Amino acid sequence: MEAHEASELIEETEGSDGKSRTALTISILAMVLAIASLGGSNAGKDITQENILAANSYAFYQAKSIRQTSLKIAATDLELQLLREPAMPAAAKEAMQKKIEDYKKTIERYESEPETKEGKKELLMVAKEHEAVRDHAMRQDPWFDYAEGALQIAIVLLSVSIVAGLPVLFWAGAALGALGALSALNGFFLFY
């Protein structure tokens, strides 16, 4: 074997080694892309689901508030009737007084029902919890989008570097891939 043949063999080995390194990098970035895509999909679902649950809790809160206000108006009306008609029969007064007390108990129950968690106070807390989960997912989602974009472009650059044989494309793709992986990590953990 002559020197130039050995030199050609070394170049071929180095070239295939570089291609193997690039192919492995592409495989790793494709796996990270799949994970980032899954994280982004889950964040999007969480945003939608938690927004719906928060809206439902607020709607239930509003319904309780309307019922509570209706009962307050009814109780006040009965109290005014008692004042307007002092000569009312005792049985009627007693029935009206009992109805006023029932209304007031229901008004208090609508304000807070810890046992069923359906009082206004509890519904408001539940709605705020759903909003917090939704807001967290909304902070995560853009990072997954950035990760997906960076990783896709990195994979393209790395693929072109194999065909074109340009090391600069490999390093640009690897750097963009690393940036995409960091964005995916930040999507999951929100470091910054």
Give 158's pLDDT tier (boundaries 50, 70, 90). Answer: very high
**Residue 168 contacts residue 21 (beta carbons within 8 Å):** no
Q: Do the domain assignments include residue 171?
A: yes
d(CA 21, CA 113): 63
> Helix and strand tally (H, E) in the chain?
4, 0
Cβ–Cβ < 8 Å for 162, 136: no
Q: Examine residue 137 and state whether it is found in any structural domain, yes or no.
A: yes
- Count other C-beta atoms under 10 Å from residue 87's C-beta: 5
The domain tally of the chain equals 1
In a domain, 139, yes or no: yes
User: What are the helix (H) ranges across the chain?
Assistant: 3-84, 90-111, 120-164, 167-189
pLDDT in tens, 92-129: 999 999 999 999 999 999 999 999 999 999 999 999 99
pLDDT, position 188: 98
| Parent domain of 57 | 23-189
Whether residue 159 is predicted with pLDDT greater than 60 in this model: the reply is: yes
Contacting residues for 66 by C-beta, under 8 A, at least 6 apart: none
In a domain, 11, yes or no: no
Q: What is the pLDDT of residue 11?
A: 46
Q: Domain for residue 34, yes or no?
A: yes
pLDDT of residue 15 exceeding 80: no
Domain membership flag for residue 45:
yes
Neighbours of 94 (CB within 10 A): 11
| Structural contact between residues 114 and 23, judged by C-beta atoms closer than 8 angstroms | no
- pLDDT of 141 > 50? The answer is yes
Q: 19: buried, middle or exposed (CB in 10 Å: 19+, 13-18, 0-12)?
A: middle
- Residue 61 near residue 127 (C-beta atoms within 8 A): yes
Q: Let me know if residue 12 belongs to a domain.
A: no
Answer whether residue 95 is part of any domain.
Answer: yes
Q: How confident is the model at residue 18 (pLDDT cuts 50, 70, 90)?
A: confident
What is the percentage of the chain residues whose pLDDT exceeds 70? 92
